[in-house]
Amino acid sequence: MLERLRRHFEPLFKFIAKYLYVNPNMLTLSSVLISIPSPLIVYFYNCRISILIVLILFIISSLLDAIDGAVARMYGLSSKKGAFLDSTCDRYVDSIMIITAILICSDDISKIFLILTLVGSFITSYARARGESLGVQLRGIGFIERGERVILLIIFFIICYLIYRSNIFNIFTRYYTLILAILTNITAIQRIVTVCKILK
């Protein structure tokens, strides 16, 4: 779904890339390095301020990840190595975001749903990588791809910050993480089914 909207944001990314002459691989690596402290911050200081801090870190990380491709195209620095590094770093950031969300939740059911979300996100990514290695194009296939998943997680952190430890905090985390788990794994199944149909 987000793939259809990406072209509307491309002019903005190009505008930023025009004034950001840096190696795109450095931007990719920076997106991971910025997010790494997040689970530690929440683990040692589980409070509203810590949630706000990790929210800011993840927003910056996501922006860097969105811009690196535009910079690579702007200056003719696109490469297979860069594409591989970008996909690999995305998996790290995905894991860090979900682990941070797990640490924020005080409800065990919510944590289980987030673990299922993590599994679904990796199966979704693996299905695309393996499928495309066999000649099946899967870009745009699936109910929610990585972009939508990241946005949903950022929304999760925003709401957690706003209602932290209120009476509805556990109720919210339980149902929101359930939705995340369902949507993520539906996407994984969609990709598996698509590959199986094409390769039959």
From 86, 90, 94, 107, active-site residue:
90
* Three-state DSSP state, 149: helix
Q: How confident is the model over 140-154, as pLDDT tens digits?
A: 888 888 889 999 999
Cα within 13 Å of Cα(97), Cβ side: 33
Distance CA(174)–CA(197), nearest Å, equals 34
- CATH number (3.40.50.2300, 3.20.20.370, 1.10.940.10, 1.20.120.1760) of 2-198 reads 1.20.120.1760
Boundaries of every domain in the chain? 2-198
Residue 123 has pLDDT above 60, yes or no: yes
Contact residues for 118 (Cβ-Cβ < 8 A; gap 6+): 94, 95, 98, 99
Q: Is 90 a catalytic residue?
A: yes
Rounded mean pLDDT of the chain?
88
Q: Identify the pLDDT of residue 79.
A: 82
Q: Which tens digit of pLDDT belongs to each residue from 47-98?
A: 999 999 999 999 999 988 888 777 777 767 778 888 898 889 999 999 999 9
36 phi, psi to nearest 5 deg = -55, -40
Coil vs helix vs strand at 122: helix
- Pairwise CA distance, residues 178 & 161, whole Å: 19
Residue 3's pLDDT is what? Answer: 52
**What does the pLDDT average to over 10-16?**
59
68/152 Cα distance (integer angstroms): 21
pTM for this model (two decimals): 0.89
What is the 3-class SS of 52-70, one letter each residue? HHHHHHHHHHHHHHHHHHH
8 has pLDDT over 80: no
